[in-house]
Amino acid sequence: MSQNHSRDGGSTTNEQALRRMRQGKPVIIWTRSEGDWLIDARHWESNNPDDAARTPLLRLPCIATVALTPRITRRRTPACIFTSANAVRYALADARVRALVQTAATVYTHGSRTASELDAHGIPATHIDVATGSELAKRLAVLLPKDKTPIIWPSADQVAHDFTTDLEAAGIAITRIPVYSTERRLRLPGGKAPNAAQIEEMIDHLSGIVCFASPSAVEGFVQALEPEDNRLGEGLLAVTIGPTTQTAAQKFFRHVMAIDEATIGELAAAARLEFARRLQPR
């Protein structure tokens, strides 16, 4: 189960983390996609070389993103919401969705990464400084126009917090447009699927903390490693963001910790803190 990777910031390489795993020592398992790691890596960077030993990070991507062909039934919208950089990329790659977005009087977003992605595509956006989907819904309920023409929300096929009901209850018409899906599959860094022996090795030796940022990542992990039927469901601590991700993890893991701040940076910080508190190598 060998992967050659250089050190990413303050985390150990995957190879170092794998050696720890085989010795029965705990690691932090990061399940976000390979593409997301280009951004996620900064949350694990450190100028202190000793942090590498303190944060043994094992990357096991459990999702991959795939473009969808969205159904477009209108030609204009009063406003548009983006809540992820992936949604921006996939939405604006579709000529029909891009044309619809360009009719919006205002484009709203939260999160600096999403705002940067919009800026890179030449789409001016109003940035709302909140951390969670529920907080965003509360702010949008005040800001968005109560128009008969629905505002649009290009998104993944599954989202961690679907706030369409919240906005509709506030009298705002909204249509969520799935522009990409997430394939639920566990891969090694680089995209290679683990073989049967590698799967068995992970089931026998994985311990520590597994991080989930979406229900899809939970599904990808579960499909490959079946924690409900082996030691992983009892032995791993699942750290999650978003209520739907928490609910998904609770079906398969006895120990689940949901964090208050629904950002990727906070997920990484919570995992490091909990690892240090419970599992720090001595």
Tens digit of pLDDT at every position of the chain (282 positions): 533 334 343 344 678 888 899 998 999 999 999 888 888 888 887 645 555 556 889 999 999 888 999 989 888 999 999 998 889 999 999 999 999 999 999 999 987 788 889 999 999 999 998 877 778 888 999 988 887 889 999 999 888 778 899 899 999 999 999 999 988 999 987 788 999 999 999 999 999 999 999 898 999 999 999 999 999 999 999 999 988 899 999 999 999 999 876 688 899 999 999 999 886 655
Which pLDDT belongs to residue 8?
42
Task: Provide the CATH topology of domain 14-62+185-278.
Answer: Rossmann fold (3.40.50)
| Contacts with 106 (C-beta within 8 Å, 6 or more apart), sequence order | 78, 79, 80, 126
- Each domain of the chain, given as residue ranges in start order, spans 14-62+185-278, 66-183
Q: What is the pTM of this model?
A: 0.71
Domains 14-62+185-278 and 66-183 share a fold: yes
Q: For residues 35 and 155, give the distance between their C-alpha atoms in angstroms, rounded to a whole number.
A: 17
CA dist 138 to 59, 117, 168, Å?
A: 35, 24, 12
Handedness of CA 114, 119, 125, 128 (dihedral sign): positive
CATH of domain 66-183: 3.40.50.10090
